[in-house]
Amino acid sequence: GAAIRAADDPRVRRLAARTAAQTLLYGFARDADVAAARVESAGFAGMRFTLRTGGASRPVAIPGLGRMAVHNALAAAAVGVAAGLSLEEIDAGLALGWTAPHRTELVAAGAISIVDDTYNASPGSVTAALEMLAGLPGRRVAVLGEMLELGESAEAGHRAVGEVAARIAALLVVVGAGAAGIAEGARSAGMEPRDVVVVPDPDVALETLRARLGPGDVVLVKASRGVALEVLADALRREPVR
């Protein structure tokens, strides 16, 4: 049988070399068996890229947002290749997309758009979410909470995320004392202090957003699952900005 693995981690390549199974590597690495080229955002419509495998290529479009959605699509495409599907069949399947509650879920809420990615968070996934936000039209607002279970890297991880947010967000709302490092990182990276707001809980975050959001804004909401920022995302859905 075929062993399907992500090609972007060198550890995977070492494991692939040690198995007797046929391997199929996918990812952004140039020499992956299933790879993506010319990746670009289509705004709220999703992502576009060229799918490459077995010497053949095909332009595809997916409704998912961000490069992580493309990486997930490559995993699905690798399964299709292993199952013997044609590129046309794989393209048709990818175009259908998939959704799960609070996982990069795009929601229109009155005059604003919400990207509800509150299921979980780590420095890497928050950075990816912010980069996804950068590909969307409108004034970009990031609402970020604490990333849990980081151990000794917690302070550095939160500050690093803040530095990325400073390059992308016009307004940063940091929820909870445990996430204060995000605000510190954003300010140290040059973000205007008036555009970095630290609030104690989701209720105050909601009040802050209602006072500062306007038509056309796109709002990313993300934190670790234990912070429960989905409550904030759901509240914005129920009472949208007009």
pLDDT in tens, 207-230: 999 999 999 999 999 999 999 999
Note whether 95 and 80 are within 8 A (CB). no
Cross-strand pairs, 215 = none
pLDDT of residue 137: 96
With a CB cutoff of 8 Å and minimum separation 6, the contacts of 196 are 172, 174, 183, 186, 187
pLDDT of residue 30: 84
The percentage of residues in the chain with a pLDDT greater than 70, rounded to a whole number, is 91
With a CB cutoff of 8 Å and minimum separation 6, the contacts of 159 are 181, 182, 184, 185, 188
Q: Give pTM, 2 decimals.
A: 0.88
pLDDT of residue 184: 98
Q: What is the mean pLDDT of the chain?
A: 92
Q: Which of 202, 207, 210 is nearest to 227 (CA)?
A: 202
pLDDT in tens, 114-169: 999 999 999 999 999 999 999 999 999 999 999 999 999 999 999 999 999 999 99
pLDDT of residue 1: 53
